[in-house]
Amino acid sequence: MLYRCLVGAVLTLNLVVPAVALDSTEVAIRDAVNRGQEDALALLERAVNINSGTMNVDGVREVGRLFSQAFTDAGFATRWADGDSFGRGGHLIAERGTRGPKVLLIGHLDTVFAKDSSFQRFTRIDEHHAAGPGITDMKGGNVIILQAAKALASVGVLDELQLRVILTGDEESRGRPLEVANKELQAAADWADIALGFEDGDGDPETVVTARRSSSEWSLTVQGKPAHSSQIFRDDIGFGATLEAARILDAWRVALSAIPNLTFNPGLLMAGTDIEHDDENTRGSVFGKNNVIAQSAVVTGGMRAISPQQIDRAETLMRDIVADSLAQTSAQLSFNHGYPPMAPSAGNDDLLKQYSAISEELGYGPVIAVDPRRAGAADISFVASRVDGALDGLGLMGEGGHTVDEVADLRTLPQQTQRAAILLYRIALKSR
């Protein structure tokens, strides 16, 4: 990839020549990050080698203990928020500081790789790359949070900030009920001025995330009048459940597909005389005959939107289309909203400008906002509307996330840590 070539050109043990002079404290922060890379890589390997698939609650807790000790050693007060009440392992909270801007730093402990996955270990591929479950999504990001804080502490400026770190244990599969699973995260957001997320974004260090789309589910149930198929289209017989479902889906396609950053996807469709729908496991069974008009249909799917206003607009359009039923049919539509959107904002854009300027001064070049369609929902989605500014995608970069080909470009570990540490320092400076 192009960015790997660019990173390789500017990094030699991460001792870069900045395009614009950093101040003396920022130079010291950069150098402290470089000195900490051996410890950072060792912690990353240890974390990756602990399976912490979301439903492996013991593994999530073990990774939590590993990072809890690391943050305690760095001078943070840590505590564990147990996840029994929302069906998950729990969350790690680490706090430090009593003065200065309040900054929430977000990571997560869990991965998509189950306890019985074949992909279990950190493996060094070559000098610059390593593979492992969750190495970029997002144990590398957790390490960056810690190392950035340690670099600030080493030059005596960490206590000019109030930091709250939350490493969730259910980012890949959210616990329920949401209000319980998100209690610590949203309380921290209400406390904070700024939120920074350390996901890997789209894997490119030339981009960060200033906006994420929501993740919602919807369910459509349709009823028609069963009769012999030869009588379909009669006014008193109607069009049946299958054609009504098809009408609704195509009308949604026409109405919604032209709205920027809005998508909807029908993932499951069943129609026939008798339907058994196992909603929890997204499967079912259907009986129907070619000479009988379908009595029932069920369609389930997902929707993603860039703002609450866009969600409201889409819901209104979808419900209006559902209500315009074909003869002798009826339909009901319901929504289950999971992750809210991280909507664009002036505060987010301001953080991006600061971050990009830091990147250029470090010699890494400018950073731009990633297309929201390339950034899925994440923990920061639950907090972005509650803070003055939010930025995500600050973690360890690579490719193949959520697959057994997940590989990190280790050259971006010090790079991303330097950028984050100096951003935190400048946030502190602005409050003086």
Instruction: Count up the domains in the chain and report the number.
Output: 2
Regarding whether 237 and 144 lie in a shared domain, the answer is: no
Confidence of residue 96 (pLDDT cuts 50, 70, 90): very high
Regarding whether 233 and 174 lie in a shared domain, the answer is: no
Is there a domain that residue 1 lies in? no
What is the structure's pLDDT at 2? 34
**Longest C-alpha distance within the chain, in Å?**
84
Is there a domain that residue 387 lies in? yes
Regarding whether 232 and 97 lie in a shared domain, the answer is: no
CA distance 321 to 348: 35
What is the structure's pLDDT at 214? 94
Bridge partner list, 303: 216, 264
For 314-323, how does the pLDDT look when each residue is reduced to its tens digit (9 = 90+)?
999 999 999 9
Regarding whether 112 and 201 lie in a shared domain, the answer is: yes
What's the mean pLDDT in 280-290?
A: 92
Domain limit, last residue, from 316, 339, 362: 339
3-state secondary structure at position 183: helix
Residue 201 predicted with pLDDT over 80: yes
Dihedral sign computed on CA atoms, order 229, 231, 234, 238: negative
> Do 32 and 151 meet the contact criterion of CB atoms below 8 Å apart?
yes
Environment class of residue 276 by beta-carbon count within 10 Å: exposed (0-12), middle (13-18) or buried (19+)? exposed
For 175-190, how does the pLDDT look when each residue is reduced to its tens digit (9 = 90+)?
999 999 999 999 999 9
CATH, residue 255: 3.30.70.360
CATH, residue 87: 3.40.630.10
CA distance 361 to 119: 38
Is there a domain that residue 208 lies in? yes
Regarding whether 350 and 335 lie in a shared domain, the answer is: no
What's the mean pLDDT in 39-43?
A: 98
For 122-135, how does the pLDDT look when each residue is reduced to its tens digit (9 = 90+)?
999 999 999 999 99
Residue 142 predicted with pLDDT over 50: yes
For 60-92, how does the pLDDT look when each residue is reduced to its tens digit (9 = 90+)?
999 999 999 999 999 999 999 999 999 999 999
What average pLDDT does the structure give for the chain? 94
Query: Which tokens sit at 229?
Result: 């198929």
More reliable by pLDDT, 338 or 196: 196
Confidence of residue 1 (pLDDT cuts 50, 70, 90): very low
Confidence of residue 377 (pLDDT cuts 50, 70, 90): confident
Regarding whether 118 and 203 lie in a shared domain, the answer is: yes
Query: Which tokens sit at 69?
Result: 């000790």
Regarding whether 261 and 182 lie in a shared domain, the answer is: no
**Please, where are the H alpha helices in 36-176?**
37-48, 57-73, 140-154
pTM (2 decimals)?
0.88
What's the mean pLDDT in 110-126?
A: 96
Domain limit, last residue, from 283, 313, 339: 339
Confidence of residue 20 (pLDDT cuts 50, 70, 90): low
- Please tell me the least confidently modeled range out of 44-48, 238-242, 428-432: 428-432
CA distance 117 to 410: 24
Work out the angle at residue 245's Cα, subtended by the Cα atoms of residues 241 and 250, and round it to the nearest 5 degrees: 150
What is the structure's pLDDT at 152? 98
- Please give the helix or strand (H or E) that residue 32 lies within, else none: helix 24-35
Query: Which tokens sit at 202?
Result: 């789209």
Residue 212 predicted with pLDDT over 50: yes
> Do 60 and 169 meet the contact criterion of CB atoms below 8 Å apart?
yes
Bridge partner list, 369: 208
Regarding whether 231 and 195 lie in a shared domain, the answer is: no
Is there a domain that residue 280 lies in? yes
The one-character DSSP state at 60 is: H
Query: Which tokens sit at 7?
Result: 């990173």
Is there a domain that residue 398 lies in? yes
What is the structure's pLDDT at 280? 82
Residue 103 predicted with pLDDT over 80: yes
Regarding whether 21 and 75 lie in a shared domain, the answer is: yes
CA distance 92 to 165: 8
Domain that holds residue 301: 215-339
- Strands 194-197 and 389-391, sheet pairing: parallel
Residue 119 predicted with pLDDT over 50: yes
Regarding whether 33 and 175 lie in a shared domain, the answer is: yes
> Do 197 and 380 meet the contact criterion of CB atoms below 8 Å apart?
yes
Is there a domain that residue 292 lies in? yes
CA distance 430 to 423: 11
Going across the sheet that includes 398-399, the strands are 123-124, 129-131, 407-409, 398-399
More reliable by pLDDT, 377 or 301: 301
What's the mean pLDDT in 19-42?
A: 93
Is there a domain that residue 7 lies in? no
Residue 12 predicted with pLDDT over 60: no
Regarding whether 285 and 228 lie in a shared domain, the answer is: yes
Regarding whether 263 and 397 lie in a shared domain, the answer is: no
Nearest to 97 by CA among 158, 14, 53: 158
Is there a domain that residue 348 lies in? yes
3-state secondary structure at position 152: helix
> Do 100 and 42 meet the contact criterion of CB atoms below 8 Å apart?
no
Domain limit, last residue, from 339, 367, 382: 339
Confidence of residue 17 (pLDDT cuts 50, 70, 90): very low
